[in-house]
Amino acid sequence: MTHSTDSAALDGLELAEPHLGNVLSASGLDAEYVRAERNTLYLRDENGQEIPVLDFVGGFGSLILGHNHPEIVAYAKELLDAGTPVHAQFSRHPYANRAAAGLNRIVQRETGTDEPYYAVFANTGAEAVEAAVKHAEFDRFRKLSALREEIEAHGEAARAAVLAGEAAVADGRDIEDLLAEAARHNAGQLSRPPLFLTPEGSFHGKLVGSVQLTHNPAFRLPFQALAAQARFVPLDQPEQIAKIVEGERGVLLDPVVEGGSVTVAERAFPVFCAFVLEPVQGEGGINVVSEEFAREVQRVCAEIDCPVVVDEIQSGMGRTGAFLASSHTGLRGDYYTLAKSLGGGIAKTSVTLIRASRYCKDFELVHSSTFAKDAFSTLIAIKVLELLEADGGAAYRTVTERGERLREALEEVREEFPGVLKEVRGKGLMLGVEFHDQSGSASEIIAGVSQSGFLGYAVAGHLLRAHRLRLFPTGSAFNTLRLEPSLYLTDEEIGRLRTGLRGVCALLRDADGEALVQP
Ligand code: F0G
pLDDT cut 90: percent of the chain above it: 92
Residue 475 pLDDT > 90:
no
User: How far away, in angstroms, is 417 Cα from ligand 1 center?
Assistant: 31
Residue 69 pLDDT > 90:
yes
Collapsing DSSP to helix, strand or coil, 389 comes out as helix
Collapsing DSSP to helix, strand or coil, 93 comes out as coil
Could you tell me if 279 and 147 lie in one domain?
yes
CATH number at residue 53: 3.90.1150.10
Note whether residue 470 is domain-resident: yes
Residue 491 pLDDT > 60:
yes
Could you tell me if 358 and 476 lie in one domain?
no
Query: CA–CA separation, 462 vs 503, rounded Å?
Result: 10
**pTM score, two decimals?**
0.97
Note whether residue 476 is domain-resident: yes
Note whether residue 230 is domain-resident: yes
Q: Residue 27 has what pLDDT? A: 83
**24 confidence band (pLDDT: 50, 70, 90):** confident
In 3D space, the residue among 165, 492, 166, 108 whose CA is nearest the CA of residue 336 turns out to be: 108
Residue 4 pLDDT > 70:
no
Could you tell me if 300 and 397 lie in one domain?
no
**282 in ligand 1 pocket by Cβ < 6 Å?**
yes
Note whether residue 233 is domain-resident: yes
Q: Which of 24-33, 36-45, 319-328 has the lowest mean pLDDT?
A: 24-33
Could you tell me if 147 and 42 lie in one domain?
no
Which one is predicted more confidently, 292 or 21? 292
Note whether residue 421 is domain-resident: yes
Nearest-CA residue for atom 7 of ligand 1: 205
Residue pLDDT, tens place only, 127-176:
999 999 999 999 999 999 999 999 999 999 999 999 999 999 988 999 99
**218 confidence band (pLDDT: 50, 70, 90):** very high
User: Domain range spanning residue 452?
Assistant: 28-69+392-517
Question: How large is the average pLDDT for residues 358-386?
Answer: 97
User: How far away, in angstroms, is 202 Cα from ligand 1 center?
Assistant: 10
Helices 94-111 and 375-416, packing angle to 10 deg:
40
Could you tell me if 418 and 478 lie in one domain?
yes
**126 in ligand 1 pocket by Cβ < 6 Å?**
yes
Q: Residue 3 has what pLDDT? A: 57
pLDDT cut 70: percent of the chain above it: 99
**125 in ligand 1 pocket by Cβ < 6 Å?**
yes
**216 in ligand 1 pocket by Cβ < 6 Å?**
no
> How many domains would you assign to the chain?
2
**313 in ligand 1 pocket by Cβ < 6 Å?**
yes
Q: Residue 19 has what pLDDT? A: 87
**311 in ligand 1 pocket by Cβ < 6 Å?**
yes
Q: Which residues touch 440 (CB under 8 Å, ≥6 apart)?
A: 447
Note whether residue 51 is domain-resident: yes
**22 confidence band (pLDDT: 50, 70, 90):** confident
Could you tell me if 472 and 343 lie in one domain?
no
Q: Which residues touch 415 (CB under 8 Å, ≥6 apart)?
A: none
CATH number at residue 113: 3.40.640.10
Could you tell me if 266 and 363 lie in one domain?
yes
Could you tell me if 189 and 219 lie in one domain?
yes
Query: CA–CA separation, 401 vs 320, rounded Å?
Result: 10
Could you tell me if 283 and 329 lie in one domain?
yes
Could you tell me if 442 and 480 lie in one domain?
yes
**Strand order across the 251-258 sheet:** 168-169, 261-268, 251-258
Could you tell me if 455 and 498 lie in one domain?
yes
Note whether residue 162 is domain-resident: yes
**339 in ligand 1 pocket by Cβ < 6 Å?**
yes
Collapsing DSSP to helix, strand or coil, 270 comes out as coil
Which of 60, 214, 349, 369 is the best mutation target for the ligand 1 pocket, counting ligand atoms within 8 Å of the beta carbon and taking the most? 60
Nearest-CA residue for atom 17 of ligand 1: 283
Could you tell me if 344 and 484 lie in one domain?
no
* Of the residues 346, 373, 400, the one at which a domain ends: 373
Q: DSSP states of 34-59 as a string?
A: EEEEBTEEEEE-TTS-EEEEEESSHH
Note whether residue 436 is domain-resident: yes
Residue pLDDT, tens place only, 396-431:
999 999 999 999 999 999 999 999 999 999 999 999
Say how far residue 409 (Cα) sits from the centre of its chain: 27
**1 confidence band (pLDDT: 50, 70, 90):** very low
